[in-house]
Amino acid sequence: MDQGAQGAVAAGSGYLITHVEFPLYNYIMLHRHLTHQQFTLAAIDDVIARGKRQDWARLRRAALDDRLVLEKVLRVCQAHVADPYAQRYHFWKQYAERHLA
């Protein structure tokens, strides 16, 4: 394993438990659908679902700079608002609606 990564097998479970430490200042989440730093619908969905604060800040900046990104955020969120526990999507939907108005 890499330096800074530790792994252990949980007794009898067959699962590998891995703990990885990253320096906070050097952490950028690589989203699987984010190609060439463009916010596609899939990339926006990935950032909202799995992103950290820094990722959300990048999405927010892109949305404020480009109305098309803001419209895509709204479109992605509308597919998830039926789930009352999808709070991240509810937050971004409200944010997009307010800025599109």
Domain ranges of the chain: 25-100
Locate 76 and state its tokens: 């992605």
Q: E strands within the chain?
A: 5-9, 16-20
Locate 51 and state its tokens: 């992103």
- Contact between 62 and 51 under an 8 Å Cβ cutoff? The reply is no
Task: Give the H/E segment covering residue 18.
Answer: strand 16-20
pTM of the shown model: 0.65
Neighbours of 73 (CB within 10 A): 28
Over residues 3-46, the pLDDT tens digits come to 444 444 444 445 444 443 444 433 344 545 445 557 889 889 99
Over residues 40-98, the pLDDT tens digits come to 898 899 999 999 999 999 999 999 999 999 999 999 999 999 999 999 999 999 999 99
